[in-house]
Amino acid sequence: MSRQNPGGVKKRDAAARSAEEILKELGVEATRVEVPASEKEVQTILARASKEKLKVLPMGGGTSLGVAVLPEKVDLALDMRGMNSICELDPRNLNIVVEAGKSIKSINQELSQVERGFMLPLDPPRSQEATLGGAYAANMSGPLRHLYGLLRDQVLGVRGVNVEGSQVAFGGITVKNVSGYDLTKFLIGSAGSLCVVTQVALRILPVPEASGVCRIEFPSDSDLEGFLSELRQSVLLPSAVVARWEAGDAVKLLTVALEGHPKAVERQAREIQEMGARHGGSGRILEGRDTFLESLRLAVDPQGEIHRILALKVSVPIAQGLGAAKAVEDLAVRGSLKVDLALLAGNGVFFAYATDQSDQLLREFSKGVRETALRMGGHVLPVWGPRGALEGWGPRIDPAVGRNVVMPIKQSWDPWGVLLPVGL
């Protein structure tokens, strides 16, 4: 495997894991890794790749590459982390334009230092390593989606390079924009199969005046269920609600994040604690922005050695969230697997982090999870994991939709199959 940084102007964070390490863990062999430092370089690379019919894998921090359909071998891995600048920041108009290879955590660190403090309410798991482009390509978001919506609700515009090496741009920097097809949204979740994203424009928001967190332990599933049901019917507006537990543990730890006017935060904290107590929970209130952010990170990030973890993202209708997570917990217990669950309650989404040395056991577990989700009207995507555990995943997109919509578009945008295949 050879490595090139043709421009060599900007380098990715030296502390980050190398593309080679990430690809090795995912079982992908790349003949060459390139780290473009500019959009122009991406254009040159893709134009050449098309001419020579090379297979190209665009990548960021590798925190959600599992959502892509990964071949065993590619000719070229495009490590986008060399493009990691904030291109434009306009706090007065509440927007920002960022290169795709910048990590989400670093975007927020820089925003928090601007004037009164701003934020990008996007917090997928492992957001320290996760790049904006990766989160965009994989449609990843985290606990803050509860109040602020998904990545698709933050994105205003996108720029990228098509397989012919031409720069393409869609959307803009305004919230309202219905000029032409909304390809800014369409490309979300396309997992590197349609074009290489180089820049993303997003909405930003002022950091709220006050932040706080309620951490409540519930002794049983039914107590947690009762609490979540009452919370859902209330007028309260938490920013995030995450339940975290290890499969087999009766006790569930719930993190409820609160932001806004100090009076609103204070009232919500009080009422949520009282509501928790009514359902057998006991907990405490933590204040301050740093605590708020760290609590959410702990609530959703995996623990342990990343390279042995199979991370699955399960989406079901909102009211089925806890039921689906419990069904997955049963699968883990029956299979004697160590599985951590992070339920984004109120969104019908949870992450299941399964750890085992046996790929076979992980494969069986993921098969069970898919069947469970399907039964409950949902879907599962692998976020990352050992190659052996991801093998034989099968189609990700509904076959009728794939045949009639996704494949015709893929063939018209990437007729030579330079980029990654779509999930059919």
Partner 1 sequence: MQRKQLVQEVVSIVGKGNVLEDKASLAVYEYDASLFQGRPDVVAFPTDTQQVAQLVKLANREKVPFLARGAGTNLSGGTAPTRGGIIIDLCRMRRILEIDTNNQTALVEPGVYNLTLQNALAPLGYYYAPDPASQKVSTLGGNVGENSGGPHCLKYGVTSNHVLGAEVVLPNGEVVWLGGAAETPGPDLMGLFVGSEGTLGIATKILVRIMRQPEHVVTILGIFQSLEEAGQTVSDIIGQGIIPATLEIMDNLVIRAVEASVKAGYPEDAEAVLIIELDGLADGMDEQAQRIEEICKANNVVSVRRAKDNTERAELWAGRRGAFGAVARLRPSYLVCDGTVPRTKLPDALRAVKEVSKKYGLPIGNVFHAGDGNLHPLILFDGRNPQELEKVHKAGTEILEAVARLGGTISGEHGIGTEKLKEMRLIFREEDLEMMRRIKKAMDPAELCNPGKLVPPPAQEAVGHA
What is the footprint of partner 1 within residues 381-400 (CB under 8 A)?
Answer: 381, 396-398, 400
Is residue 416 close enough to count as binding partner 1 by CB under 8 A?
A: no
Q: Which is nearer to partner 1, 333 or 401 (CB)?
A: 401
Structure tokens at 8: 């060599």
Q: How many helices, marked H, and strands, marked E, lie in the chain?
A: 15, 19
> Using the rule CB under 8 A, is 152 a contact of partner 1?
yes
- Hey, which residues does 167 pair with through a beta bridge? 161
Under the binding rule (CB under 8 A), the answer on residue 21 touching partner 1 is no
Pick one of 2, 14, 178, 274: the residue that binds partner 1 (CB under 8 A): 178
For position 113 contacting partner 1 by CB under 8 A, the verdict is: no
**Contact between 15 and partner 1 (CB under 8 A)?**
no
Phi, psi of 421 (to 5 degrees): -70, 160
SS3 content of the chain, % helix, strand, coil (to 5): 35, 25, 35
Which element (helix H / strand E) includes 222? helix 221-233
Interaction mask 332-351, partner 1, x per CB under 8 A: ----------------xx--
For partner 1, the closer of residues 30 and 140 by Cβ is 140
Stretch that binds partner 1, among 71-79, 176-184, 243-251, 350-358 (CB under 8 A): 176-184
Q: Which of 2, 113, 357, 412 binds partner 1 (CB under 8 A)?
A: 412
Query: What does the block give as tokens for 141?
Result: 């978001």
Least gap, CB of 368 to partner 1 (angstroms): 18
Smallest distance from partner 1 to CB 248, Å: 26
Is residue 57 within 8 Å of 137, Cβ to Cβ? no
Residue 52 CB, shortest distance to partner 1, in Å, is 21
CB 63 within 8 A of CB 126: yes
Q: At a CB cut-off of 8 Å and minimum separation 6, what does 346 contact?
A: 146, 228, 231, 232, 238, 241, 318, 321
In angstroms, what is the minimal distance from the CB of 358 to partner 1?
26
The span from the CA of 422 to the CA of 424, in Å, is 6
Total binding residues toward partner 1, as defined by CB under 8 A: 86
> What does R_g of the chain's alpha carbons equal in angstroms?
21
User: What are 405's two structure tokens?
Assistant: 């919509």
Could you say which of 87, 114, 168, 361 contacts partner 1 (CB under 8 A)? 168
Q: How far is the CB of 293 from partner 1 (least distance, A)?
A: 18
Q: Does 163 bind partner 1 (CB under 8 A)?
A: no
* Residue with tokens 């204040």, as numbered in its chain: 287
CA 155 to chain centre: 14
* Binding flag, residue 87, partner 1 (CB under 8 A): no
Exactly one of 406, 418, 419, 420 binds partner 1 (CB under 8 A); which one? 406
DSSP assignments along 100-149, one per residue: TTSBHHHHHHHHHTSTT-EE-----TTTTT-BHHHHHHHT---TTHHHH-
Residues 45-84 that bind partner 1 (CB under 8 A): 67
Q: In the range 214-253, which residues lie near partner 1 by CB under 8 A?
A: 232, 235-237
Binding part of the chain for partner 1, among 50-58, 206-214, 282-290, 350-358 by CB under 8 A, reads 206-214
**Closer of 172 and 335 to partner 1 (Cβ):** 172
Q: How far is CA 329 from the centre of its chain?
A: 22
Instruction: Please identify which residue in 103, 315, 366, 372 interacts with partner 1, judged by CB under 8 A.
Output: 315
CB 127 to partner 1: min, Å: 18
**How far is the CA of 311 from the CAs of 151, 174, 369, in angstroms?**
19, 35, 12
Binding of residue 367 to partner 1 (CB under 8 A):
no
The smaller minimum CB distance to partner 1, of residues 166 and 360, is found at: 166
Of 46-54, 71-79, 180-188, 359-367, which segment contacts partner 1 by CB under 8 A? 180-188
Q: Which of 42, 57, 70, 188 binds partner 1 (CB under 8 A)?
A: 188
Helix 221-233 crosses helix 321-334 at what angle (to 10 degrees)? 160
409-414 CB contacts, 8 Å cutoff, 24+ apart: 409/194, 410/193, 410/194, 413/162, 413/163, 413/194, 413/195, 414/163, 414/193, 414/194
Shortest spacing between CB 191 and partner 1, in angstroms: 8
92 forms part of the interface with partner 1 (CB under 8 A): yes
DSSP state, residue 349: E
Instruction: Name residues contacting partner 1, limited to 255-294 (CB under 8 A).
Output: 260-264, 266-268
Closer CB to partner 1, residue 23 or residue 422? Answer: 422
